[in-house]
Chain A
Amino acid sequence: MPFLELDALSKHYGPVKAVDDVSLSVEQGEFISLLGPSGCGKTTTLQMIAGFVDATAGRIRLQGRDITHAPANSRGLGIVFQSYALFPHMTVADNVAFGLEMQKVERAERARRVEQALALVHLDAHAGRYPRELSGGQRQRVALARAIVIRPPLLLLDEPLSNLDAKLREAMQFELRTIQQQVGTTTIMVTHDQAEAFSVSDRVVVMQSGRITQIDTPYEVYEHPASEFISRFVGKTNLLPPATDGGPQRHVRPEKLMLKPAGQGRADATIVDRFFLGSQWLYHLESPLGPMVVVQVNDGSPAHPPGTAVALDWDDAILRTLPEGGR
C-alpha cells in the first residue's frame, strides 16, 4: 500500500479542467516534486492534498485513510506556503509553537520541540524576533520549522524558494534536502523551476494542462523526456534530422555536442555568438542542420570568437528520439 495515493484526482472549475485525472503513488520518505509551467494544475493538486480546495472527482488516501473531503484542520499536514504565511504578530518561537499548541502538547515538551526545530534550521538565536525583523531566507526557515515541528506525516511545499534571490535559493535547495532526509518526512514540493526540482527530488512529476505527462527520476526526465515539451521545459535541446527518411527526429542536449576544428566533425558550423556563464561557455552556432546551441565547460582554454568556423561532433549513443505523438 502506498503511503500517499492520488487516485484519478480532478478539479473542474466549470468547463475548465484545472486538474484532470491525476494518479500518483508516493512511498514513505520520498521527496516528490510537481513540476510544470504556471497554470498546469500543480498548485491546485497540492491544495487538494492540503484540503484548501475540494476535489471534483477522485480520491486522496494518506496511510490508507481516505482524506479526500476531510477538513484542512483535521489532516495534520505540515505546509510551507509560497508567501510563508507566518503569523506577523507572533514571535518566531510562537509561530513555531502554534501547531503544537493546537495539538495540545504540554508546555515543557512544546518548548523543547520548538527549540529543536529552530536549531535544525539554524534560527535558535532568533526565537524572540518578529517575522518582519527577519530576512527572506530566515522567514523561509521559520516556515519550514513551523511545518516540521508538528511531525506531520506529509510535508507540502508550495514554491518554497521562489521568493528568494538566486544565491540563497541554491543554498536553501540543499538545506531543504538535508533537513528532509534528517527528519525523513514524506515531502511533496510544487515548483516551476526544473533545477530546483532536479536537485532535491527523488522523483519528478511533470504536469501540463492539468495532466501528468511524466513521472520519473530527475535524471530520467532530463535524459529521456517523454515529449518535446518536457524536453524543452527541463533544458535546452538541439534537433537533428532523422537517421532514415521518415524516421523520428533526434534530440541532443547542448552539453553533449563537441566542438572540433573545421572539417574534422560530422557537420560544419559557424559560431554566431558566445555567452560567458562562469563555469561554462554557451555558443550559438549556424550549421546546415539548422541553428545549434552548444555548452562547453570553461576549462581555462580560450573561447572561440564569433565567426570561427568549427565542426560539430557527437556520439550516436547519446542521441534521443522522442516517443511517437509525444507532445
Chain B
Amino acid sequence: MSDTASPRTRSAAWLTLPSLLLFAVMLLTPLSLTLMLSFNEYDAARGATGGFTLSHYAAIVSDGYYLEIFLRTLRIGLITTLLCVVIGVPEAYILSRMAAPWRSVFLMIVLTPLLVSVVVRTFGWSMLLGIEGPVNMLFQAIGIGKTRMLYTEGAVITALVHVMLPFMVIPVWTALQKLDPQVEQAALSFGASRLTAIVRVVLPQIMPGILSGGLIVFGLAASSFAIPGLLGGRRLKMVATTVYDQYLHELNWPMGAAIAVILLIANLIVMLTCHRVVERQYRRRLG
C-alpha cells in the first residue's frame, strides 16, 4: 500500500509547490516583515530605529483612542454582516426559486457591485448621500428636511453592505442548490406553514453557507479601507484607515504595523471561533 501511495503523495507535494511559493512570497514575507516592524523602536525624528520594544502594543492597549477605533471597526463589521444576512439570505432564497432565464439575469445584477471600481462606486455613494444629493432632495420633498449622512457610520455601513452582499448571496445560494427540494415539500406535507418550513427545515441546512458568507463579509468589512476612507472622512476612522494614517501621515511605521497585526489577530480569532462552531455543530449532521 505505502509503495503505491508514496509516489502519489510525492507528486501531490510537487504540485502544491507553485501555490506554496506564491503564498510564501506574496503573503508570508510581507506578514513577517510587518510583524518584525511592529516590535521596532520608533523615534519621531528618525523613524523606525530597529531594536525590540513592546511599547507600541502597550500604547494601543492602554490608549482609549485606539480602543474606540477597534470597537467602531468591530461594530461596523458586525452590523454590516448582520444586514448582509438579513438582506442576502432571503435574496438568495428568492434567487434559487426563480425560473431559468431570470435566475441568471438577477444573479448578474447581484454581482454588479463587484464589477465597478471601488473608487467609482464609493464616489457614487458620496454623491447620492451628499448634502445636495438626490437622497436629501427626496427627504426635503417629503418633509424630513436635510440630513447629514456623509461621514457617518450609516454611510459607511450602507456602502459596505452594498458591495459585500454578493459575498453573502453566493455561498448561501450554493448551499441552497444542494438542498433536496422534496425536503421542503416534506415539511409542508406534514402540516408546516411556509414560514415554519423555511425556519425549521431550510435555514438549519443552509446555516454553514450563512456562516461562511458571514465570515467573508465580516473579514472584508473589518479590514475595509477605501469605503471608510472616502465615506467616513477624517474623523470616522476604522482600523485600516488608521494603519494608513500611521504609515503615511504620522510616518510611525512600527505603530501602523502593530495595529495591523492586532487587526489580523482579532480577525483570525473571530474566524477560527466561527469555524469551530461550524465543525462541531454541522459536521456530524450535514457532512
Chain A residues within CB distance 8 Å of chain B: 50-52, 71-79, 81-83, 85-89, 98-99, 102-103, 130, 132-133, 146, 150
Contact = CB atoms under 8 A, between A and B. Distances in A.
Interface hub of B182, B196, B201, B282 (most chain A Cβ within 10 A): B182
Interface stretch (B5-13, B92-100, B186-194, B248-256): B186-194
A296 B14 CA distance: 63
Contacts of A81: 182, 185-186
Given A81-B182, A89-B204, A89-B205, A132 B287 contact: yes
Given A72-B185, A102-B196, A132-B287, A85 B180 contact: yes
A86 B183 contact: yes
Contacts of B180: 83, 85
A214 to B, nearest CB: 29
B191 A76 contact: yes
Interface string B263-287: 0000000000000000000101111
B77 to A, nearest CB: 28
A260 to B, nearest CB: 54
Contacts of A146: 190
B193 A88 contact: no
Contact of A85 (B183, B200, B282, B284): B183
A44 to B, nearest CB: 14
A85 B186 contact: yes
Nearest to B207: A89
B205 A73 contact: no
Contacts of B193: 73
A146 B190 CA distance: 9
A150 B190 contact: yes
A79 B189 contact: yes
Contact of B182 (A85, A102, A130): A85
Contacts of B205: 88-89
A307 B196 CA distance: 68
Interface centre among A74, A83, A85 (most CB of B within 10 A): A85
A103 to B, nearest CB: 6
Contacts of A75: 189
Given A83-B180, A85-B186, A73 B192 contact: yes
Nearest to B194: A73
A79 B287 CA distance: 26
B186 A87 contact: yes
Contacts of B185: 50, 52, 72, 81, 85
Query: Which residue, of B191, B193, B282, has the highest number of chain A Cβ atoms within 10 A?
Result: B191
A130 B285 CA distance: 6
A102 B285 contact: no
For chain B, what secondary structure do more than half of its interface residues adopt (helix, strand, loop), or is it mixed? helix
Interface in B117-138: none
- In this complex, the interface size class of chain B, counting residues with CB under 8 Å from chain A, is 20 to 34
B98 to A, nearest CB: 19
Interface string B41-77: 0000000000000000000000000000000000000
A73 B180 CA distance: 18
A123 B188 CA distance: 24
A89 B286 contact: yes
29 contacts: A50-B185, A51-B189, A52-B189, A72-B188, A72-B189, A73-B190, A73-B192, A81-B182, A81-B185, A81-B186, A82-B182, A85-B182, A85-B185, A86-B186, A87-B183, A87-B187, A88-B183, A88-B285, A88-B286, A89-B205, A98-B187, A99-B190, A99-B191, A102-B191, A102-B196, A130-B284, A130-B285, A132-B286, A133-B284
Contact of A73 (B191, B282, B287): B191
A89 B189 contact: no
A103 B186 contact: no
B213 to A, nearest CB: 18
Nearest to A100: B190
Contacts of A103: 191
Contacts of B192: 73, 98, 102
A103 B196 CA distance: 13
Nearest to B192: A102
Contacts of A71: 188
Contacts of A102: 190-192, 196
A133 B189 CA distance: 24
B215 to A, nearest CB: 20
A79 B205 CA distance: 21
B187 A83 contact: no
**Which 3 pairs across A and B sit closest by C-beta, in order of nearness?**
A99-B190, A102-B191, A85-B182
Contacts of A87: 183, 186-187, 201
A99 B285 CA distance: 20
A14 B269 CA distance: 57
Given A52-B185, A85-B180, A85-B182, A132 B285 contact: yes
Nearest to A98: B190
Nearest to B282: A89
Most buried by A among B186, B188, B204, B285: B186
A50 B182 CA distance: 12
A63 B18 CA distance: 70
Interface string B159-201: 0000000000000000000001011011111111110100011
A50 B187 CA distance: 12
Nearest to A73: B188
Nearest to B185: A52
A68 B269 CA distance: 56
